[in-house]
Structure 1
C-alpha cells in the first residue's frame, strides 16, 4: 500500500474534532477507498488545555498554526478555523506556497480570496478543496464539478443557511414572531449569539458566490450578490403565504443572462421568497440545506442534507482528503482560473414573474387607494389583495398583495413611487415568488 497521506489539522472545534473521530471510526474503510492511510500528524488550536473529548497526544502540537505550512512531514493542510482573512488566509497562502495541498471549510475565505488561492494552487500543482465550505455534508461542489460536468447549468438556487431556514420553518409551524423564534433558536444552539451573518443572508451569499462560479465558469464575485435577510418577515407574512399556497424560505439564486453587448451577465441574489407548496424546497424544514441545479440535459438536480454539524461537515472534509490521496486534484472552480470569466452583474429588472408585497401603513382612509394608484402608474397588475388591521383604532394595517406576472422593474417603480409616503410606517417587504 502507498505511503500515508500526512495531514496537519488547524482548528479543533466541532468540525475539527469531528474529522479526528471520523478518521478513527472509519479508518479501515477510508484507507481502502483512498488507497492509502490518512494520518493526522499535527494539530493546532487556540487553547491547548481545553478538554475536547479526544486523545490528542499522538499528534504534534503547533502553537502557531501558520507554522504547519513549513513542516516537512505534512502533505496536506486542513483549515477549520474560519474568517475571511487573518491566520486562516495566511495559513492557506503559506501552505500552497510550500507545495502543500489545502482543504478548508471556510466559505468566507473562498468567497473573498478563492480565485487568488486557486490560481496559486494551479501554479504549484497542488489541490485546493472546499467541499465542506458549501452546504456542510451535501456533496454539491463535487456534484456540480463532476456529476453535472457535461451540462450547461441554466440556474442554481436553494436554501443555503440552516439557521435562517430553522427560524422560518419554526415560525411556520408555531405561529410565533421572528424575535421570539430567534431567541429560542439561540437558546437551542441553532443560532449564534451574534446571528447577523445568518439572518441577514451574508453566510448564504458567501456560498452562493462559490456555487455560481462553479456553475457558470465565472470569477467569484461576492460583492455583486444582492443580499436581503429575513429579519423583516412577520408571522403575518407566513400566515398569508400559507393561505395563498406558499411557504417562505431564504433563497440564494444565480443565473446568467446576456446583456446588450452580447456578453454574459451574472445575477446573484439572496432574498426571502415565496415557494409554492408543491416545490421540493417547500418541504425543506429545520436546519437543513438544499440546492437545486437546472442542467440543460440533466434537468432538475436536487442536493439536500445537513448543512452544518460535526458529522456532515467532517464527512465533506474527509471526502476531499480521499480525493487528494487518490491523486484527484481537479480545478477548484471546474475550469482553470485563466478560463474563468469576469461577468458583469446582471440587472433583475427585466425578469418577469409574480411578486408578493406587504405594506405596513397607518389605519386611515385613502391609504389603500394610494397604494393601488402607485401600482397602476407603474403598470403592476394585482392578482390578489388582502388588508388586515389591528384591533385598536388608529393602529397599523398590513396590506398584502400578489401581482400577476410582470417585469420586476415595474414593481421597483411602484415601490419608488410610494417612497417617503406618510401613509407607510415601514419600508415595503417585497418577495419574489418562485415558479413551481
Structure 2
C-alpha cells in the first residue's frame, strides 16, 4: 500500500459513520485508484463512549470526546467536520485551518453564512476546504462547477435541492392530499425532521444555491440577499390548477447571471410537465447548469442520506489526498476562482425580477367579479396569458379564479395583488406563484 494520509473525523452521526464505512470498506479499491493508504486515525464525538458495540469504530486508533485532540495532532492531514451547526463547527474548522490542515465539511448552512471568513482563512493558509457534500448529497456538482465547467461562463443554475420539500410536493400531486397531511406522513417515514422549518420554508435550498452561485458566478453571494419563500402555502387546489395548465409545482432554487448583476432566489415555481426538472420526484434532487459554451447540463441523484452524503465526503478526502501526494495542494482555488474573496455583483431585488405569474383569487361568484380583478391587472400593465374559472363553488358562494400572466416585473404584481385583495368581491388573500419555462 502507498503513502499514508491520516484523517480525523469530528462527529459520528449518520454521515460520520457512513464516511468511516465508505473509507474502510473501499480501502482496497481506493488504494488501487490512488496509490494511497487513506487512514482514519481518529474520530471525535461527545458521545463516543456510547458506541462500545460499534465494531467498525473500534478499528479506529484514537476515539475521543475532544475534537481539539484531532485538530492539534501533527499526524492528521485532513480534518472532517460533520457536527453541523454554526459556532462550534466554525471554531473547529478555523482552528484546523490555522494549524495548516485541510478540511472537508458537509455544512452548507455554515458555508452559506460564514463562508467568506472560512474561505479567506483557507486561502491565506494555503489549504483546501472540500465541500462537495454540502450541496446535492451524492450528486457531483461543486467540483463540476469548479473544474469540469471551468472553461464556461456560467449563465444559469437551477435546482431541486431539498428532498423533503420535493417529496411533499410529489405526494400532494400523486395522492391529492393537503400539505399538512403529507408532512405528517413524511415525518413518520423519516423524510422530514420533527421541526421541518428549515426544509419546507426554503432555507436549506437557499444555503445551497448561495454556495453554487458563488462558485458559478465567481463572486461571493451574501446569504441575506437570497430571496426565500417556502411551500407551506401551497394547497391542493393549486396542484390541480397546475395540472390543468400542463404544469407542476416544484420548490426551485434559481440563480441567473445578467450583465451587471445576478439573481439568486428560492420559491415555489410552476414549470411545464415537459421540463426535465418537472420529472424529478420524491426525495431525489436535480441541478441544471447552463454554460455559454457547453449549453445545458443536467445532474441528478440522491440529495441526502448517509450513504450518498458520505460518498461525497469521501470523494473530497480522496481528492485532497491526491493533491497532497502530487505536491499540488492548492491546485484549485477554494471557490474555483482566483479573484480576491469579496462581494462583486449586486443581487437583484425580487421585485425587479421579471417572471410569468400564476395568480389565484377567491372571488364572489357574481357578474363583474372577473372584470374588476382584470381591470386592476390592466391598470398595472399586467397582460393575461390564460384564465381559468373553476366550476366548483366554495362555501359562501365564492369561486377560485386563476390568471396566468405574461412576463412582468414582480413589483407590478405585488402592487396589483395588494389592490385586488382590498376589493369587495375578493374573499381571501391572493395566491401568487412564479412561473418558469412557459415564455422565453
TM-score range, shorter chain: over 0.9
Residue 289 of structure 1 pairs with residue 246 of structure 2: no
- The answer to whether the 8 Å contact 1:206/1:222 transfers is yes
Return the alpha-carbon distance in structure 1 between the equivalents of residues 390 and 88 of structure 2: 52
Contact 1:157 1:293 (C-alpha < 8 Å) held by counterparts: yes
Q: 2:359, 2:54 → 1: CA distance?
A: 50
Q: RMSD of the alignment, in Å?
A: 2.0
Partner of 1:50: 50
Q: Is the 8 A contact 2:48 2:64 kept in 1?
A: no
Structure 1 equivalent of residue 152 of structure 2: 151
1:231: which partner in 2?
A: 232
In 1, Cα distance between the equivalents of 2:47 and 2:428? 46
- The residue number in structure 1 matching 2:116 is 115
Which stretch shifts more, 324-333 or 142-151? Answer: 324-333
TM norm structure 2: 0.92
Gaps spanning 5+ residues in structure 1: where? 259-263
State the shift of 1:238 in Å: 0.8
**Matches of residues 204-353 of structure 1 in structure 2 within 5 Å?**
204-258=205-259, 264-327=260-323, 329=330, 330-336=332-338, 338=340, 340-349=342-351, 351-353=353-355
The CA distance in 1 between the partners of 2:192 and 2:282, in whole Å, is 12
Residue in 1 that maps onto 2:41: 41
Matched residues in 1 for 2:76 and 2:188: separation?
Answer: 40
Aligned residues: 430
Q: Aligned ranges for residues 141-220 of structure 1 at < 5 Å?
A: 141-220=142-221
Does the 8 Å contact 2:120/2:341 carry over to 1?
A: no
One of 414, 418, 421 as aligned partner of 2:420: 418
2:95 and 2:423 map into 1 onto residues whose CA distance is 55
Alignment of 1:367-406 (within 5 A): 367-388=369-390, 393-394=395-396, 396-406=398-408
CA spacing shift, 1:39–1:423, aligned 2, 3 Å: farther
Q: In the alignment, is the contact (CA less than 8 A) between 2:262 and 2:348 conserved in 1?
A: yes
Distance 1:86 1:339, change over 3 A: closer
The TM-score, its normalising length taken from structure 1, stands at: 0.93
75, 78, 87: which one pairs with 1:76? 78
Structure 2, unaligned runs of 5 or more: 324-328
Partners of 2:186 and 2:364 lie apart in 1 by 32
Which of 48, 61, 64 is the aligned partner of 1:62?
Answer: 64
Q: Is the 8 A contact 1:70 1:98 kept in 2?
A: yes
Deviations 1:370-396 (A, max 9, x none): 321211111111122223376564155
Contact 2:123 2:334 in 1 (8 A): no
Q: Which residue of 2 aligns with 1:261?
A: none
Q: Secondary structure at the match of 2:254?
A: strand
SS of 1:270 mapped into structure 2: strand
Displacement after TM superposition at 1:365 (Å): 5.9
1:140 aligned to 2:136? no
**SS of match in other structure, 2:340:** helix
Q: Distance in 2 between matches of 1:345 and 1:362?
A: 40
Q: Contact between 2:161 and 2:303, CA under 8 Å: does it hold in 1?
A: yes
Return the offset for 1:318. 0.7
Q: Give the whole-Å Cα distance in 1 for the aligned partners of 2:365 and 2:225.
A: 38
